[in-house]
Structure 1
Amino acid sequence: MNFTENKLEQAAMRKTIKRLLRKYKYPPKGQKKAMDTVLRQAKLMREQMVG
């Protein structure tokens, strides 16, 4: 099982991403798009690692 299949893991990742975006003063207007991009990249990286 991986985070892309587990809703609790997805929620934890979203929470971490939001915290980091706020910490580094990412503009609130672009946070949703940035979060979606990070999650998409993580999913692609995992697929490449697993095969």
Structure 2
Amino acid sequence: MSQDGASQFQEVIRQELELSVKKELEKILTTASSHEFETAVFAMFPRLLSNS
């Protein structure tokens, strides 16, 4: 795979991951109590930082 092709692939994967995280957070916001929300967000926070 060329360098440009690899970069495009990486960007597509990054965008898909970002969309997936947003969908999961939306689910949490609509279904969780405030305590559950805080716990879930703080549990996901390190993963969000490592994928930036």
TM-score, normalising length: structure 1: 0.46
- Of structures 1 and 2, the larger Rg is shown by 2
More helix by share: 2
TM-score, normalising length: structure 2: 0.46
